[in-house]
Structure 1
Amino acid sequence: MAEYKYISSLQNPMIKKALTLKEKSRERKKIGCFVLEGVRELQLAVKGNYELETVFFYADIIAKEEVLGLLGQEIDHKVIIEISKDIYQKLAYRETTEGVVAIAKSKLHSLDSLKFSNKKPLILVAEAPEKPGNIGALLRTADAANLDAVIIANPKGDLYNPNIIRSSIGCVFTNQIGVGSTEEVVEFLKSNNIAIYCAALTASEKYTTVKYTEASAIVVGTEATGLSSEWLENATKNIIIPMEGEIDSMNVSVSAAIVIFEAKRQRDS
């Protein structure tokens, strides 16, 4: 059975832990837990088989019964805590509040943990993404396209940064995600016979002329520096989205979405 409590003191150890996890990436990595907020995010975390450690709710916004409904069958052995207004305002980081915050255990996201039920998987690889908004948008695109996996090569930040969770609208929980160095990711793709299509400005083919109907990885880099030479040296093909205006690049999440949905169009035709 779930355990129920009420906390009104900011000095409570459980509240201090939640605040630390919210604010400090180092502690999230050290403890292996993170904070999530919101009804949809909680639902998607449960759907994504994340282990919830503690669920906090503010009764003036959301009733305990509604929280239990969100958790479904996941209520056994969970600590469910009603919190005061002051505590909720400290824990919440969203402008539009929904009354629920939780501590969940992180996943490891090793490349070896990736499993493909599709014999010809379609994968998005992002090298060294830094901006939480871009990462969130990439994850939302991957979810919308129902990609087989998202791989982050040479990660620069914390996947469970609250801003990534928020900008992804919980899609960090719905995607199968792997993390590794560029060298490890290249080796993983090659060993699994997955073609590597790198978005690049030089020695590239127009993205619509390439066939993505076999096992494929679409690889994107940062807007500032693009992809590292290791990717370009190992690419099956370099691809480009022709620019007809004055600039030579678009936001990385927009570029990825264009190529991903071209690949989906080819596979569905």
Structure 2
Amino acid sequence: MITSSQNTLIKNIVKLRKARARKQQDLVIVDGLREIKVAFDYGFEFVELLHCPDLSSEEWKQAPITPTPVSLEVFKKAAYADNPNGWLALIKPRYRQLEDLKLKANPLVLVLEAVEKPGNLGAMLRTAYAANIDAVIINNLQTDFYNPNVIKASSGHVFSDQVAIADEAETLAWLKKNKIKVHATNITAATPYTDVNWSEGAAIIMGTEATGLSDFWIKAADKNIIIPMQAGIDSLNVSVSAAIIVFEAKRQRDSSNGANIKKK
């Protein structure tokens, strides 16, 4: 058991809280057994696995490597989370490209441009997974893709095989190649999102809260869409806006497929 915060591994994990150190060492820090298991399910390579028995008595029999036991005091020093649950892993990052994505007929795709806040990126990835979105494409990312807050907010689904990084031009060409219509969110001269036929192949393009989408996507769109709001409010948090549109698309698709929607 590691009982000293001066242990070489622990000191290095503390350094990995910085994005620069993670990039230099080509490592990702994953805090929490739920997120660690998601990374494992998606086939990521594990480098280190730490377990604090004082915080978690839960065993992980399918662990890809033998967990290293760590004392409570040392684990709290190493963990990124304010309230760690007793598991921490170091894994190798993996970045997917457009050609890695697998699509079914009439796919629904979420494109995120210039996302700045890790929490927003993670929340939208979590929404995409919850709504069974076929793929997420990230353009011009303004934060660390594997920031621990992205991992936590996404419930680990940043590790999904269906999340890719590409520039705007590549993404547009790929969408056209796959006959996917482009729907760009825009606060002016736009169609209400509920008036869109989401049952066909469609992409939802989301921009930043501060400036919205770039001119590239506004001009490239087959249709600009808007969430109608009360006068005096012109925008919502981007993750909230994404969730509203994504679940309207899911509702329409479930209805058109004859799915049984559980009523509460």
Moved more, 205-214 or 222-231: 205-214
In the alignment, the residues of structure 1 paired with residue 11 and residue 66 of structure 2 have an alpha-carbon distance, to the nearest angstrom, of: 16
RMSD of the TM alignment (CA)?
1.7
Give the total of aligned pairs.
255
Q: Which residue of the other structure, out of 177, 182, 188, is the alignment partner of 1:196?
A: 182
Q: 1:31 aligns to what?
A: 25
- 1:99, 1:257 → 2: CA distance? 31
> For residues 2 and 183 of structure 2, what CA distance do their matches in structure 1 show?
52
AA partner of residue 240 (structure 1): I
Aligned with 1:211 (options 197, 204, 208): 197
Q: Does 1:7 align with 2:30?
A: no
Runs of 4+ off more than 6 Å: none
Superimposed CA distance per residue, residues 67-101 of structure 1 (whole angstroms, 9 cap, x where no aligned partner): 333xx2x43xx242111233201111223321111
CA distance, structure 2, for counterparts of residue 268 and residue 84 of structure 1: 49
- Measured in 2, the distance between the counterparts of 1:246 and 1:232 equals 23
Is 1:259 the counterpart of 2:245? The answer is: yes
One-letter code of the match for 1:110? Q
Counterpart-to-counterpart distance in 2, 1:233 and 1:58: 53
**Structure 2: runs of 5 or more not aligned:** 256-264
Structure 1 letter corresponding to 2:236? M
Counterpart amino acid of residue 5 in structure 2: L
Give the secondary structure class of the aligned counterpart of 1:178: strand
CA spacing shift, 1:139–1:37, aligned 2, 3 Å: same
What residue number does 1:168 align with? 154
- Rounded Cα–Cα distance in structure 2 between residues aligned with 1:97 and 1:251: 27
Q: 1:174 to 1:181 in 2, by over 3 A?
A: closer
Q: Deviations over 1:147-175 (max 9, x none)?
A: 11111110011111111112222232346
Paired residue type of 1:249: S
1:114 to 93, 98, 101: 101
The Cα of 1:27 is off from its aligned counterpart by 2.6
Q: 1:197·1:216 contact (CA, 8 Å) conserved in 2?
A: yes
Matched, 1:42 2:36: yes
Aligned partner of residue 59 in structure 2, secondary structure:
helix
| Offset at residue 207 of structure 1 (A) | 1.0
* Percentage of pairs with the same residue: 45
Counterpart position of 1:135: 121
Match for residue 60 of structure 2 among 56, 65, 68: 68
Is residue 171 of structure 2 the alignment partner of residue 177 of structure 1? Answer: no
TM-score by length of 1: 0.89
Greater strand percent: which structure? 1
Superposition deviation, residue 127 in structure 1: 0.4
Aligned to 2:165, what secondary structure does the other structure show? strand
CA contact (8 A) 1:139 1:175 kept: no
SS in 1 for 2:144: coil
SS of the aligned residue for 2:89 comes to: strand
Q: Which runs of 5+ in 1 are unaligned?
A: 1-5
Q: Quick one: which of 150, 155, 163 aligns to 2:141?
A: 155
Instruction: Choose which of 11, 17, 24 in structure 1 pairs with 2:12.
Output: 17
- More divergent stretch after superposition (127-136 vs 45-54): 45-54
Q: Which is further off, 41-50 or 218-227? A: 41-50
1:68 counterpart SS class: coil
Q: Map Cα deviations across residues 82-128 of structure 1 (whole Å, 9 max, x no partner).
A: 11233201111223321111111111122222122x12111111100
Inter-partner Cα distance in structure 1 for 2:75 and 2:133: 35
